[in-house]
Structure 1
Amino acid sequence: MSSSEKSESGAVKKNSQELAEPPSKPSLQLLCSTLNTLWGSDRVLRSIQFFSRLLASSPELSAENRHLCEVIGRSFSQARYINRLYGTIDGLEGVVYDIPRNAPFAIRLAKFLIHGVGGIGYHVLEHTALAIMIVRRCDPEKIPSIKAALQRWGLWDKADDIDALAQWCWFLEALAKLYIASLSYRRIKNQIAVAMAAGDKAALKRLVVLRRMLLLDMIKLGTDLPLSVHYARMYDNGPSTLPERWVGILGVLGSVSQFLVRYKQQSQSYSLDLCLSNKFA
């Protein structure tokens, strides 16, 4: 074994020790820990939203049941607006603290797209649409000045269009995350090759788990791209790009994939941007 291979082997062993798995927890406790967060509750709402969309597009169901599923999906979609009120602050925190100053420009740009566009931009637009939706639920005769102001600004009936614009922020965020994930995948692939050459079974086992989690995250991001374009194209009642059944299938697939990652993350140190971690240098 060459000196460079020995040093890489030592780095893999060190990485394995530094990223040792936390003490194991019972499966039910892991499930509760995953669900008992804002993110967890949002994933539950998202899963119900898209599963309802899937059922609503199923010709096997009666027209009455399809309509009921459509309304359920729309209701849970709107419930997620409230659940994501933290998104703007979360994005601001990412812009301030999660953009590495010494990283290459491409990585810094990707991080800005994730936090600045996907975090701040998306949620500001979404919150604006939510505020208009709430106002529109009021009796217009009882809020004449507010209605007049929104009409003067051209916003009175633009909640859906503002929400559609927000989906382009989602699209850019997904692209940026896929770029970061591809770099992480390449680094994990190289680390796996080093671990195999060194015969380090412990490190190899852990790296394979990380690769599996990363691939699940990439599946979720892969479903985000067509879904975001589909919803963004609805601006000004534009044509959809996906059949309703595929909207449901992709939404459910993405939700399940990401939930599996977060469930495993309760007992396994993992991050999408492993390529930026010193532990994988």
Structure 2
Amino acid sequence: MIFNEFRLTGDFLHGFAILLLIFNIIKTRSCYSVSGMTTILYVITFLCRYLDLFSFNISSIDIVLKYNTIFKIYYIVSNCLILFLIYGLFRKTIDKSHESFPIFGYLICAHILNWSTCYFTNYKNIDMEYFWRFSIYLEILAIIPQLSLIYKQRTITKTMTYYLVMLGSYRVFYILNWIYRYNMEYYWDPISFYCGCIQTIIYIYFFICIYPQLNNENQYQSVDLTKDIISAVDTKENINQKSTYDIPLIHNVV
């Protein structure tokens, strides 16, 4: 494999998206708009996909191998950190009322998709390749709880919008990466390509059909803040006026 601008752009968009989400959770000290189920599915996805980490030779001089290893570790550790923030430090801010679909449903769907494609390709061995394919299908489903949570809450913050845009863009650049590799290296991975296309369609559908129906939480917060300021100013003026009226005139004092 050779590096290309599409692969690098996709990797860094994905990495920055995760970093943005972590900083936002820590800054706001809230996980209200973050789906814990999506994070769990991402952790399972990357653990299944990167089982080869246990066989990595740190003394290897292959720059591509080291690059891939760094990102593999980053994806696993960062998503585990998000999981800790959600169910550890800020567990009281979780919106549990809108995540009702059992997580095993997503795992079973990914498992069925994996077995069906194994049957069509005459590949039936349960090994690292099997878990890698399972992770590809699971990643398609992993974002659905997050999008569903946003839809049910009917609000979305600017940070969450940027996060989803970067995730969707990362998949677009990965599609371009597969096309580039097919033309330059004659390497073709139909599962990764078509699954990436499905993920991209999911993001496009969300931003075209669902996003316009959502309220911008920041706008409503700013409006409420303005009302609070006006109310506070009026209250202060009323108190000052009342204090003025309560003070007796000096010639009335006996």
Provide the TM-score with structure 1 as the length reference. Answer: 0.28
* CA radius of gyration, larger in: 2
